[in-house]
Structure formats: structure tokens, C-alpha cells
DNA sequence: GCCAACGTTGGC
DNA sequence: GCCAACGTTGGC
């Protein structure tokens, strides 16, 4: 089993959307960056994922979700009505990947980016805390995963 | 709203 | 293949 982190704007899809979905899964789609997509292709069912809230008032890790359905062609890329439509993608030759995720646990309080940065000694090479980090899907080392769990 | 970081596009 | 221009991300 692997560990990951995904970013989302909570108004788009945050931890409360997963709470509302209960045992139901939510499609994680719209990723349009190759490095992030390649990581999504590596995801397997039951991989554990930190859900990070970005571009909002309370920035940080809000809880844990897990992979319910491994990577498949993101339907939005074929839909001209979708903001994620990609005219260069075709059903025969899809370009982008979606996975389905389900709630594991909403944390009692958010672990803020400031807290993570204050723990930089424990989070060496954790790209999330780098200035200007834009990657929206990234792997998390088991040692980092364990440390972040201790902050919740 | 600003702006740094950085990925993508397209002319050459 | 280079690189300037442009667009997006995301913290502040």
C-alpha cells in the first residue's frame, strides 16, 4: 500500500464533501498536469491519501481519504461541455486519468501548512512545503505519513 | 489583489 | 531544441 497527498480547493471538493458522501465514493477528476496524472496512474485500491485544502481561508491537511477505484480514463476530457474538456484526447487515446476516492477520516482539526512548515526537520524532501510548490498529486513517504499522523 | 513559481505553447 | 510569452497555481 502506498501513501499520497492530493490538493483541492474545499469549495470545489473538500473533506466535508466526503463526509456528506458517507460510504459513497467521489470521482477525483480534472487533473491536467502530467506529473500529477502519472502519480494517479500508480494509485491502487486502498492506498491512503491525505486531503489538503488549498486556496482558502484554512490551508492544510483536513483528513484522510482512500482510493476506492484505481485509475481510469477521466470522462471529463471527452465532454465538450466540461471545463476539463481536452480536444486532443479521444476515447481510443485518452490522455487524462481519474480515480474514485472515499472518506477514511475527517481530522478533528486541520493540520495547517504553517504547522507542517514548522516541522520541516521531520519532513525533508516533502515537496508540499516548498515555496511555490504547485504539484497537486504527490507521493508521501511512510516516515512522513507517520509523522503527519502524529500532528493530527 | 498581488506576485512568485513553474508548466505549457508556439515561433523560430 | 531553444526560449520568450503566456496561463495557472496557490500562498500571502
Which domains can be identified in chain A, with CATH numbers? 3-151 (3.10.590.10)
The pLDDT of residue A61: 98
The model's pLDDT over A34-75, given as tens digits with 9 standing for 90+, comes to: 999 999 999 999 999 999 999 999 999 999 999 999 999 999
- CA A92 to CA A143: how far, in whole Å? 40
Q: What is the pLDDT confidence band of residue A88, given thresholds at 50, 70 and 90?
A: confident
A132 CB less than 7 Å from any atom of strand B: yes
pLDDT at A81 over 90: no
Q: What is the pLDDT confidence band of residue A90, given thresholds at 50, 70 and 90?
A: confident
- Separation of A91 CA and C10 C1' (Å): 32
Average pLDDT over chain A, rounded to whole?
95
A46 CB less than 7 Å from any atom of strand B: no
Among A84, A97, A95, smallest CA distance to A41 is for A97
Residue A71 C-alpha cell reads as: 485509475
Q: What is the Cα gyration radius of chain A?
A: 15
Residue A8 per-residue DSSP state = E
Q: Looking at the C1' of nucleotide B3, which residue has the nearest alpha carbon?
A: A132
The pLDDT of residue A121: 93
Among A50, A66, A51, smallest CA distance to A144 is for A50
- Residue A79: helix, strand or coil by DSSP? coil
The pLDDT of residue A118: 95
A127 CB less than 7 Å from any atom of strand B: no
Amino acid at each position: 500500500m502506498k501513501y499520497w497527498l492530493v490538493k483541492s480547493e474545499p469549495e470545489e471538493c473538500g473533506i466535508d464533501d466526503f463526509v456528506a458522501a458517507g460510504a459513497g465514493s467521489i470521482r477525483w477528476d480534472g487533473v491536467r498536469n502530467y506529473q500529477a496524472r502519472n502519480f494517479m496512474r500508480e494509485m491502487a485500491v486502498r492506498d491512503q491519501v491525505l486531503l489538503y485544502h488549498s486556496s482558502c481561508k484554512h490551508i492544510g491537511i483536513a483528513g484522510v481519504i482512500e482510493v476506492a477505484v484505481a485509475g481510469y480514463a477521466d470522462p471529463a476530457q471527452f465532454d465538450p461541455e466540461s471545463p476539463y474538456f481536452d480536444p486532443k484526447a479521444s476515447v481510443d487515446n485518452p490522455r487524462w486519468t481519474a480515480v474514485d476516492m472515499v472518506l477514511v477520516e475527517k481530522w478533528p482539526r486541520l493540520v495547517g501548512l504553517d504547522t507542517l512548515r514548522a516541522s520541516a526537520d521531520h519532513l525533508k524532501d516533502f515537496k508540499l512545503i516548498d515555496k511555490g510548490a504547485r504539484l497537486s498529486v504527490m507521493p508521501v513517504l511512510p516516515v512522513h505519513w507517520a509523522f503527519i499522523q502524529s500532528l493530527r
